[in-house]
Amino acid sequence: GQNIDQPTEMTATEGAIVQINCTYQTSGFNGLFWYQQHAGEAPTFLSYNVLDGLEEKGRFSSFLSRSKGYSYLLLKELQMKDSASYLCAVRDLAGNMLTFGGGTRLMVKP
């Protein structure tokens, strides 16, 4: 089975840094994805980690530790438009299916 946990809500200030954590216990692992979903819109791809370490992409970075079943998404220089839900998802061994966590709703305040 798959169990993926992330905080339900977080609040941060414009210009600050925020870290969104995700822990997982899965029967198989073949990569971890982060998606961003604005209210009323489709989830969009942010990052993908399959090996341990940090992947940096502009203001967003994602970290993975497979031994700890842990990932985080780091958002720097927060902007108001970063207010959204952030979804952590684990891919199965066959590579065909993603199982999602409940999502973290991030509110960025001025």
Partner 1 sequence: ETGVTQTPRHLVMGMTNKKSLKCEQHLGHNAMYWYKQSAKKPLELMFVYNFKEQTENNSVPSRFSPECPNSSHLFLHLHTLQPEDSALYLCASSQNGELFFGEGSRLTVL
Where do contacts with partner 1 occur on this chain (CB under 8 A)?
A: 4, 8, 30-31, 33, 35, 41-45, 48, 87, 89, 91, 95-103
74 versus 98: smaller Cβ distance to partner 1: 98
**9: buried, middle or exposed (CB in 10 Å: 19+, 13-18, 0-12)?**
exposed
Q: Which is nearer to partner 1, 32 or 108 (CB)?
A: 32
Tell me the closest approach of the beta carbon of residue 101 to partner 1, in angstroms. Answer: 6
Torsion over CA: 4, 87, 69, 90 (sign): positive
CB of 30 to partner 1, least distance (A): 7
Report helix, strand and coil shares of the chain as percent, to nearest 5. 5, 60, 40
